[in-house]
Amino acid sequence: MSEWRGEGRSIGAVPTMGALHEGHLSLMDIASRECDRVVATIFVNPLQFAPHEDFDAYPRNLDGDAGLLAARGCDALFAPEKAGLFPPDFSTNISVAGVGENHCAVARPHFFDGVATIVAKLLLILRPDAAVFGEKDFQQLAVIRRLVRDLDIDARILGGPVVREGDGLAMSSRNQYLSAEERAVAPALFRTLKQAGELISAPGAQWPEIRVWARKALVDSGFSSVDYVDLVEAATLEMLDRAGPEARILAAARLGATRLIDNIAVAAARAG
């Protein structure tokens, strides 16, 4: 990478945890359009898993992932071992307040500290001109943008649109955990968000009533539980009661042992 910099080449980074799918590869396309050279990272980050979560079971296929990246035009792959990033006495933690609270942080209070810490390390190691993250993990994207702003890390953070299966389910490495029956239920998450978006865009619509409807709709569709369905301001993730020009609906729900997340942008409420 130092050779690329010496040649005046711009560098784009696409950090991932592997188990790549078309959603990840679409981020590669964005990085390729924005920068001269692209480096992808694959590292299953232990800092963002609680002891009861799926770190050991998280899907890993480094050789297959490397082939997908090469076919998509990736110029370099950085896939470090844990020991190379975290010495035995590693003791630093980065916490991002505000956008790193509420929503996913309620069920996973450890998660965004782990994300912020590893992303900061990767950006400082690679020193890319731009880094691309998917909008499916919308709260994660907001945390990373705030992290980079607050710590004056010299990298543009770009968001890539959610990539969906034909039935609307957002692509995720964890989708492979779903049984056939659960996979048939899973698209109801996106359908419910779209319906909630239409409802909150109506004149005079209030979110508390629509949230109650959306949670019930998900359970009635077959989800075992709902962590949250929140209407937020896109940049700050502050809770909203009505649709505004930058509103977004975020949701997380569970099918058996699998936790799915999704989000949609919401049109501003129509005038009465």
Active site residues: 24
Cα 133 to Cα 150: distance, rounded to the nearest angstrom:
18
Would you say 172 and 23 are in contact if contact means Cβ atoms under 8 Å apart?
yes
Distance of CA 257 to the CA centre of its chain: 19
Is 154:120 a contact under the CB 8 Å cutoff? Answer: no
**CA-CA distance, 242 to 119, in Å (whole number)?**
33
Q: Beta-carbon neighbour count of residue 188 at 10 Å?
A: 20
**Nearest-CA neighbor of 131 among 119, 121, 139, 143?**
119
Tokens (6 digits) for 202: 């109506």
